[in-house]
Amino acid sequence: MPATFAELALNGDNYLGDNRIRSSFVGNHITYNIEDCSMLVVPVRDGRCSCYFWNFEQQRIHVLDPLMMRCCTSSVHRRHGQNVTIINEAISRCEDTYFQGWNVNMIGWDRCYTVGLGQSCHSNNSGLFATHYARAFDGVQLLWDLKTPEHGINRAELLYQLLSMPGNLGDIPEMLIDLLEI
């Protein structure tokens, strides 16, 4: 999902009328049966970046906040619990609006406010870490560790990896190609 989805939902704005949100659910560019989706990833920007995951197979919502990996789960719940409720309702409304026959009842799903899954970071790196979580989290664990800038990866490399993922409709900016010498 685009990060604007969470922003619109949390602000009470019309996410159902937003073409970016609609195109996440319907359109010729979607080459798979969306009703078979096993996990929905929602990036959330609310002064920092985090990722929420709706795991349809486990009927579980995971919250990964890179600034709170060393906190207790109750602290993560206090910070994100209301957001999860609002976004959960927004996803249900999208399901009802864009699909007929996809009846997923998301009421009562387990909510996992995950801590200790990877390293913590400062707020200026929360977007980098949240992007890593979106790519590496499988519903249980992170499949690989993030190489932090001091270990050799930089934001431009991560951006290139994201933009060159299969199914990405955007073009890789010339400036990024020049920067990475590709």
DSSP 125-160: GHHHHHHHHHHHB-SSSBSS----GGGT--HHHHHH
Q: Which CATH superfamily is domain 3-139 in?
A: Adenoviral Proteinase; Chain A (3.40.395.10)
Taking only the tens place, the pLDDT of each residue in 37-68 is 889 999 998 888 999 999 999 999 999 999 99
Q: To 5 degrees, how large is the angle CA 84–CA 88–CA 93?
A: 150
CB 4 within 8 A of CB 20: yes
Letter string b/e over residues 19-55, b meaning 16 or more CB atoms within 10 A of that residue's CB: eebeebbeeeeeeeeeeeeeebbbbbeeebbbbbbbb
What pLDDT does residue 151 have?
A: 45
What pLDDT does residue 160 have?
A: 67
Domain with CATH 3.40.395.10 in the chain: 3-139
Contacts of 83 (CB under 8 A, 6+ apart): 6, 10, 44, 46, 52
Q: In the structure encoding, which two tokens stand for residue 6, read together?
A: 């969470």
Residue stretches of the chain with pLDDT short of 70:
101, 147-160, 162-182
What pLDDT does residue 65 have?
A: 95
- Amino acid identity, position 152: G
What pLDDT does residue 38 have?
A: 87
Entry pTM: 0.81
Q: In the structure encoding, which two tokens stand for residue 136, read together?
A: 């590496």
